[in-house]
Chains A and B, each alone.
Chain A
Amino acid sequence: AQTVTQSQPEMSVQEAETVTLSCTYDTSENNYYLFWYKQPPSRQMILVIRQEAYKQQNATENRFSVNFQKAAKSFSLKISDSQLGDTAMYFCAFTLGGSNYKLTFGKGTLLTVNP
């Protein structure tokens, strides 16, 4: 079974600074995808960024980027120029490639951006 671990229950950062959220996962498969989802207090889950395991290049989406270390099974999220609207729960998630897209989530990291 695949597992996802987020070891930081809570983090805080000052507005405009950079913060990195950690995630590790465990799988014996080679074909899989990794995600970071954001869940603001309004609770709608939003996809932040996605990484295909077969791609060596780290994914980036504007101020969000990942550091994907496949051998170490590590998938961290870096948020640059943090904004107040980035305050949310962040979930790391994993799914195997193929016809089934079952997402396995970590327990989440609550990020607070302070003014």
Chain B
Amino acid sequence: DAGVTQSPTHLIKTRGQHVTLRCSPISGHKSVSWYQQVLGQGPQFIFQYYEKEERGRGNFPDRFSARQFPNYSSELNVNALLLGDSALYLCASSLVPDSKQFFGPGTRLTVL
């Protein structure tokens, strides 16, 4: 079975631009969570979605938004990129929100 997949693998953007990151959960998983991992730090929770509804939101500005589609895949959008948004963005899927999470390989975003 395929694990959690994320695209793209790497991305380079300039300040002020917008970016969309994509995540496909493990087949059968209905919940997707997004985390930001800045270099040298542990991941920080951004969003959790379940059945296309937002179930939780971390301490991130409104420039960050996400959505979940009927097939349970998810997009994370970041507007007006700042240098500080450079990070590894991790997606995790689970059967339901309170079950074990499986992480994808991440998208490395660099903002210049």
**Interface residue from B44, B94, B103 paired with A45 (Cβ < 8 Å):** B103
Interface residues on chain A, number (Cβ under 8 Å)? 23
When distances are taken between beta carbons in the complex, the residues of chain A under 8 Å from B31 are: 101
A81-106 toward B: CB 8 Å interface, digit per residue (1/0)?
00000000001010001111111111
State which residues 45-78 of B face A: CB under 8 Å: 45, 48, 55-56, 58
How many Å from the CB of A75 to the closest CB on chain B? 14
Q: How many A-B residue pairs have CB under 8 A?
A: 61
Q: Are B106 and A103 in contact (CB under 8 A)?
A: no
The residue in B42, B94, B97, B105 that gathers the most chain A C-beta atoms within 10 A of its C-beta is B42
Partner of B56, one of A42, A93, A100: A100
Whole-angstrom distance between the alpha carbons of A103 and B98 in the complex?
10
What's the tally of chain B residues with a CB closer than 8 Å to chain A?
27
- The residues of A that contact B88 with a CB separation of less than 8 Å are 43
B33: A residues at CB distance < 8 A = 101-103
The residues of A that contact B41 with a CB separation of less than 8 Å are 107-108
Q: Which residue of B lies closest to A6 (CB)?
A: B42
Whether B45 and A102, one on each chain, are in contact in the complex, defined by CB atoms closer than 8 angstroms, is yes
Report the minimal beta-carbon distance from B21 to chain A, rounded to whole angstroms.
15
A104 to B101, CA, bound (A): 13
Given A47-B100, A97-B98, A98-B98, A103–B45 Cβ distance below 8 Å? Answer: yes
In the bound assembly, the distance between CA atoms of A26 and B42 in angstroms comes to 16
Instruction: Answer yes or no: A44 CB below 8 A from chain B CBs.
Output: yes
Q: Which residues of A contact B26 (CB under 8 A)?
A: none
Give A33-71 as 1s and 0s: 1 = Cβ < 8 Å from B's Cβ atoms: 000010000111111001000000000000000000000
Q: Does B90 reach chain A (CB closer than 8 Å)?
A: yes
Residues of chain A touching chain B, judged by Cβ–Cβ distance below 8 Å, are 4, 37, 42-47, 50, 91, 93, 97-108
